[in-house]
A = this chain, B = another copy of it.
C-alpha cells in the first residue's frame, strides 16, 4: 500500500538530501498544525496571549518555506532528479506553498481571537469550534499521509472536504440569521464569518496536499478531476 520509495536511491548523499527536505517539510507541517490548533484554542478560551503567540510565530513558517524552497531548487540544479525523485521534490515545493498559506489563515483566525466578544456574543465563537476541529483533523491526517506518502489516506482526506464545505455553509447561513436578528453585532459576526471562511479554505488546501501525494505515488496529476476518477487512479483501476 505504501509505495514510498525514497531510501532506495543509488547515491547515498542524494538520498540524504531528499530525506532532509522531506523532514523539513514535515517539521514545517507540524508547526503549521500547532499554529492552527493554537489559534482555535485561543478562540475557544478567548486567550489573547495565545493568539499573540500565533501572530508572533508566523514568521517562522515563512522562513521555513523560503529555506525548503531554496533547498529543493538546489537539489534540482545539482542532482538533476528524474521520475519519482523529481516528483517528490515538486510535490514538496507545492506542499510547502499550501502549508504557508494555511499558516496565514491561522494568523487571520488568531486576529479574531484577539477581538473582545461580549458574553452574549460568545456563542458565535462556539459555532466555529466544530468546523475548526474538523479542519484541524483533516490537516493532521494529510500531514500524516504526507509523512508516509500514503495515497489511500490522502484520498480519504480529499473526500472529507465535502463534509467540511457543508458544515461551512450551514454555519454561514446561521451567522447571517444572527446578523439579521441583531444588527449591532454585525461587525463581530463578520469576524466570525471570516474565520469560518479561513477554515473552509484550509480544507481546500488539505485537498491540494492530498493531490500532490497521489501525484507523487502515481505519477498522475489528479487536480481538476472528479472524485471518482481520483479514486480509480488511487485504486489502479482503468478509467473509461
Residues of A near any B CB (own CB < 8 A):
59, 62-63, 65-66, 69-70, 73, 76-77, 80-83, 86-87, 90, 93-94, 97, 172, 176, 179-180, 183-184, 186-187, 190, 193, 197, 221, 223-224
Contact = CB atoms under 8 A, between A and B. Distances in A.
B176 A62 contact: no
Contact of A65 (B184, B186, B193, B223): B223
Interface residue SS majority, chain A: helix
Nearest to A104: B204
B223 A62 contact: yes
Contacts of A187: 176
A65 B66 CA distance: 23
Given A97-B97, A179-B183, A90 B63 contact: no
Contact of A186 (B66, B87, B176, B224): B176
18 contacts: A59-B224, A65-B223, A66-B223, A69-B221, A70-B221, A76-B76, A76-B86, A77-B82, A77-B86, A90-B93, A94-B97, A176-B187, A176-B190, A179-B179, A179-B183, A180-B183, A180-B186, A190-B193
A63 B224 contact: yes
Please provide the 5 A-B residue pairs with the shortest distance between their CB atoms, ordered closest to farther.
Answer: A80-B80, A62-B224, A180-B183, A77-B82, A179-B186
Contact of A183 (B83, B93, B183, B223): B183
A240 to B, nearest CB: 19
Nearest to A66: B221
Q: Which among A62, A81, A186, A197 has the highest number of chain B CB atoms within 10 Å?
A: A186
Contacts of A176: 186-187, 190
Contacts of A186: 176, 179-180
Contacts of A86: 73, 76-77
Given A59-B224, A66-B223, A73-B86, 5 more contacts: A73-B90, A76-B90, A176-B186, A179-B179, A179-B186
Contacts of A223: 62, 65-66
Nearest to A208: B97
Contacts of A65: 223-224
